[in-house]
Amino acid sequence: MKMSLLSKLQNNGNSAAAAVVSLNESPAERFQDLVYAIHREVIKEIGNDYPLTAKGNPQGSMEEGIRQMAEAIMDNEGSFFKRNDREEIITLVLDEVMGFGPITPLLRDESVSEIMVNGPEQVYVEKQGKLQMTRTRFRDNAHLLAVIERIISPLGRRIDESMPMVDARLPDGSRVNAIIPPLALNGCVLTIRKFSSHLLGVEDLIRNNTLTLPMAKFLETCVKGRLNIVVSGGTGAGKTSTLNIISSFIPSDDRIITIEDSAELDLNQEHVISLETRPPNIDGKGEIGIRELVRNSLRMRPDRMVVGEVRGGEALDMLQAMNTGHDGSLTTGHSNSPRDMISRLETMVLMAGMELPVRAIREQIASAVDLIVHQSRLQDGSRKITQITEVLGMEGEVITLQDLFVFEQAGLNERGRVKGRHRATGLIPKCRERLAARGISLPVEYFNSEA
């Protein structure tokens, strides 16, 4: 190269040398211009069929080839790069070429459960239920858009002004949502809900005080007794994790069909068929949603249906399935309380386009749903099952409910953690008689309010 990359950058009005010595910035910020320049050189060489192989090893990896190129470029820049700085720069270049740019370390970090990019200058993560601002930055909106395209292109998706929103799933199961201008006014927005490699078990929920042992035993009995259960809660409350754990109580000899927008459930039973929705193609055609999959699954002779989330007209098909021999089904839904979940179900049934009287809808819900397990994310970031509520039936025009277990909050401790305890309300569930008729015993001690 006739002129060093740093010289080129300085001639363009950027002082890369000043960036290198700025100790108040993260390495990614300090070396951003240099990494960008090296990245461009690497891509240029790749485009020229540069043999990305390690010296003396024709079968060497692309990573080694990129490393050698970056080392050669830095050698040409001068000798003021410390060893640690050189390694940091190489890592950043590798993230740009082979990963997803600045968010690659966040994707590797197992303590991060969600990544929220609000334009190139603002990146948040969720750790242990709490949102935190990071020092991660993109160069500009074009850089962020390039990373979004790199994420979704291998998945057969596209994003542009004609299709400015996209939902997708990474190969590891992580869910991706992106929205770009003109819909997003502050630049491209990217949200990634990471798929946890460590799936929680019921023991983890008990240890984390998400629920108590009697609550877990009660839910296990209800699942084995083929009660229909809805897990409700707000966004990020942990509904899918709880659904996965509750589903693990289904006997291994049942034929289970799971239906999801993005496949996250991981059941260990032998006879499991997993179905996933399909988004529209680039022409806006070919979409297959939850409702179509629910209808089709009824022709597949399921013993149990597990629907990742109901949010529209599929609620009617789900309720009808629960009422016509497919008992023991499970699903989740967004709501603020068990009573709100009932109202949401009514609204979703109306979205099916059937002109049903409200009373008929409520009768369908009351006869189909047996339990609502409500989960909340509390102000300290912890996730707890705050209510287990039984659906009793109709009383006049109203669906009657009774709480069996509740979480009673008692303020915060000196570390800002929520204080409180789960307790039984003392009410004996009506379903105990149904379970007894099936030969399943439900100890009354579970519901001792003094326990």
Listed in sequence order, the DSSP H helices in 324-451 are 338-350, 358-368, 431-437
From CA 248, how far away is CA 267, in angstroms rounded? 6
Q: In the numeric block, which tokens belong to residue 107?
A: 């994707």
The predicted pLDDT at position 50 comes to: 45
User: Model confidence over 335-374: pLDDT tens digits?
Assistant: 999 999 999 999 999 999 888 899 999 999 999 999 999 9
Q: What is the pLDDT of residues 100-148, one digit of tens each?
A: 889 999 998 988 999 999 999 999 999 988 899 999 999 899 999 999 9
Q: 5-19, 109-123, 144-158: lowest mean pLDDT where?
A: 5-19
| Encoded tokens for 146 | 């390039």
Span 294-307, mean pLDDT? Answer: 93
Q: What is the mean pLDDT of the chain?
A: 85
pLDDT of residue 70: 78
Q: Which of 95-104, 247-256, 427-436 has the lowest mean pLDDT?
A: 95-104
Helix axes 338-350, 358-368, angle to 10 degrees: 130
Q: For residue 87, what pLDDT is reported?
A: 78
Distance of CA 222 to the CA centre of its chain: 27
Mean pLDDT of 151-170: 85
User: Which residue's entry shows tokens 């009514």?
Assistant: 346
- 282/245: higher pLDDT: 245
Whether 123 and 105 have beta carbons less than 8 Å apart is answered as no
Residue 445 or 23, more confident:
445
- Residue 398: beta bridge partners? 395
CA distances (Å), origin 356, targets 349, 397, 398: 9, 15, 16
How far are the Cα atoms of 43, 74, 97 from residue 37, in angstroms, in the given order?
A: 10, 11, 12
Flag whether pLDDT at 14 surpasses 50: no
Asked if the model's pLDDT at residue 448 lies above 70, the reply is yes
399 forms beta bridges with: 394
| Mean pLDDT comparison of 75-79, 155-159, 204-208, highest-scoring range | 204-208
What pLDDT is attached to residue 376? 95
What pLDDT, on the 0 to 100 scale, is given for residue 25? 61
Q: What is the mean pLDDT of residues 191-208?
A: 85
Q: Where are the domains of the chain?
A: 5-96, 104-193, 202-447
- The stretch 435-442 carries a mean pLDDT of 91
What backbone phi and psi angles, to 5 degrees, belong to 8? -60, -45
> pLDDT tier at 203 (50, 70, 90 boundaries)?
very high
More confident residue, 175 or 10: 175
Residue 305 makes CB contacts below 8 A (sequence gap 6+) with 256, 257, 259, 294, 297, 318, 321, 326, 329, 330
Give the model's confidence band at 431: pLDDT under 50 very low, under 70 low, under 90 confident, else very high.
very high
Is the confidence at residue 56, as pLDDT, over 70?
no
- CA distances to 121, 225, 435, 443, 447 from 432, rounded to whole Å, are 56, 10, 5, 9, 11
Question: Would you state the pLDDT for residue 13?
Answer: 38
pTM of model > 0.85: no
Predicted confidence (pLDDT) per residue in 376-397, tens digit: 999 888 999 999 999 999 999 9
We find that the CATH architecture of domain 104-193 is 2-Layer Sandwich (3.30)
On the question of pLDDT at 157 being above 90, the answer is no
Q: Which helix (H) or strand (E) holds 116?
A: strand 112-118
Q: For the segment 315-326, what is each residue's pLDDT rounded down to a tens digit? A: 999 999 998 888
| Fold classified for 202-447 | Rossmann fold (3.40.50)
Predicted confidence (pLDDT) per residue in 83-106, tens digit = 777 777 888 888 888 888 899 999
Read off the pLDDT of each residue in 256-284 and give the average, rounded to a whole number.
Answer: 86
Q: Whole-angstrom Cα distance, residue 281 to residue 33? A: 37
pLDDT interval class at 160 (50, 70, 90):
confident
Query: Which pLDDT belongs to residue 94?
Result: 82
Least confident of 23-32, 68-77, 182-191: 23-32
What percent of the chain shows pLDDT beyond 90? 49
Question: Quick one: which of 352, 313, 311 has its CA closest to 335?
Answer: 311
Distance of CA 110 to the CA centre of its chain: 14
